[in-house]
Chains A and B, each alone.
Chain A
Amino acid sequence: MKKVLMILAVSLIAVFILTGCTREQPENIEITMNGSTTVFPIAQRAAEVYMDAHLNVTISVEGTGSGNGIAALIDKTTDIANSSREIKAEEVDKAKANGVNPYETPIALDALSIVIHPSNPVNNLTQDQVKKIYTGEITNWKDVGGPDLYIVVVSRDSSSGTYEAFIELALGKDTKITDKALSQASNQVVKNTVATTEGAIGYIGLGYVDESVKAISFEGVTPNKENALNKTYPLSRYLYMYTNGEPTGAVKEFIDFVLGEEGQIIAEEVGFIRIK
């Protein structure tokens, strides 16, 4: 009995070790992507389409936030870091210290939209008004030409790339958002909150805007593809994929796919703006 168990155990261990060694086979290629929840829809769709065409490639995509993605790239636990902001200098330093050389590839353009409840008649806000609303200086819609209604400021967690982009693009670096602002975890939740709250104002990626909310102009410029592309719309930003060094091999092929016709159509389909 004991002997049989022993043999079983040894063969099991052998199987585990051997199956762990299948890396030599060239057929199965794994690509891991991690990072921005804004880039996630593009990455996810592109990965699905790409895997359909390349059966030997497995791409896993995680949407954990730009900072997390870049951290994973620095820790060498991901092949591609998706980011909705440029890599920070301190992150580059850290990567270099870890022997990682972040390489930036812009893949699409994103425009942030300021959204309000559909019943709100306000159509346009200036940068100054947005800033005053988000810092808590203006708290009633009647001060910006709307109804006598308390402004419910909806923002994102400070861990969100969208939050950082909004602060930088709309409010100016290091602006303190009012401490009464609701803080929500995703574009989707911000949209839902704004859609169900009469006095709400929020900001989401252009790709998330639908008829449940009203996207208003910023500085008189309508948030749409044309205005983002010709750079007249101030609240727009590039989305990036970061790799360790210039992409090579399977990773390069995948990024080329994202930048190619099919990939750019996907980016457009999920609501962003193509750059190629």
Chain B
Amino acid sequence: MKKKRAIIEYFLPVFAYIALIALLGIIITIFTEALPLFKTIPFLEFLTGREWRPTYNPPIFGAFPLIVASLFVTIFSMIIAVPIGVATSIYLSKLSGGFIREFLKPIVELLSSIPSVVYGFFGVVFLSPLIKDLFNLPFGLNGFNASIILAFMAIPTITSIAEDAISSVPVDLEQASYGLGASRLETIFHIVIPAALPGIFTAISLGFGRAIGETMAVLMVAGGAIAIPTSLFDPMRPLPAAIAAEMAEAPVGGLHYRALFSLAILLLVFILFFNLIAEYFRNKFTFKGS
């Protein structure tokens, strides 16, 4: 028995470190593949270049249109997904009764296990004609379509993690609130949610990560144009879509290949930056009590 425990205690950390090793491996690979690009093209030019013509002769690598596209679709999808996701989680954890909760929660979680290509297909076949007719546009594959699809994909992530955070707020806090004569809504909005805020920020940052990194669906519905988008209704090509669409033909070790890895660095940086912001808010609102 003792031996068994020793073995388990010995091996568990190994498994935990696998994630770390994988992350390090990914970062090292991306950087070693990407960095030689900047010997040929200055980093600032890559970042602010207004044209992305990787197969043109000579090739032009300006990531700015792709960055703007990524920010467009991600931010707008968050504008849709955060209120819906958080509201759903509040309803599920505090306001809905036993049966509805048992019924709704698995459905929301099921949403997150639908493959992204199915979301993409939905966007192409259903949303695209709808958007085209509704807004009287010449076509329906654009940033708006992508944002809606991304919102759908981020909502389950946000909902289930925020719901966990809200559910794990200590009951004695709630009871104390009721004891002081607060109503249910007052308790939820003034006690439970503030106490769960760090967890809600985690939920939002994971939802953001899901949205900005999503590839297949945006590749299918965002339209893929390389012009700098000026409106949500322009067709656009977010970073992951560019990587996925072009990696196939980029000769290994060539400039285009390295430029695509550089796009991956940008994605990593965005996600890291957003996680840091979320971390800041997490710490700021961490409940100090009990």
Contact = CB atoms under 8 A, between A and B. Distances in A.
Contacts of A173: 57
Contacts, number: 83
A189 interface: yes
A196 B139 CA distance: 8
B99 to A, nearest CB: 41
8 contacts: A71-B252, A150-B138, A157-B248, A159-B249, A174-B57, A185-B220, A185-B245, A196-B129
A185 B219 CA distance: 8
A181 interface: yes
B128 A196 contact: yes
Most buried by B among A150, A189, A197: A197
A68 B249 contact: yes
Contacts of A200: 139
Contacts of B249: 65-68, 157-160
A173 B54 CA distance: 14
Contact of B224 (A164, A176, A183): A183
B interface, how many residues as a size bin? Answer: 20 to 34
Contact of B227 (A91, A164, A180): A180
Contacts of A192: 124
Nearest to A65: B248
Contact of A182 (B65, B225, B250): B225
A238 B215 CA distance: 33
A158 B138 contact: no
A16 to B, nearest CB: 23
B94 interface: no
Contacts of A27: none
A112 interface: no
A158 B224 contact: no
Interface residues on A, range: 35 or more
A179 B227 contact: yes
Interface string A182-211: 111100010011001111100000000000
Contacts of B251: 67, 71, 90-91, 94
B101 interface: no
B138 A197 contact: yes
Nearest to B226: A179
Interface in A75-134: 90-91, 94
A176 B138 contact: no
Interface string B205-245: 00000000000000110011111000000110100000001
A164 B56 CA distance: 11
A158 B54 contact: yes
Contact of B248 (A67, A178, A197, A198): A67
Given A173-B57, A179-B51, A179-B226, 9 more contacts: A64-B248, A65-B248, A66-B249, A152-B138, A157-B246, A182-B141, A183-B225, A189-B124, A197-B139
B61 to A, nearest CB: 12
Nearest to B245: A157
Top 10 closest pairs, chain A to chain B, by CB = A183-B224, A159-B249, A179-B227, A67-B249, A158-B55, A157-B245, A65-B248, A159-B248, A150-B138, A179-B226
Contacts of A149: 138
The CB with the most chain A CB atoms within 10 A, among B51, B57, B128, B251, is that of B251
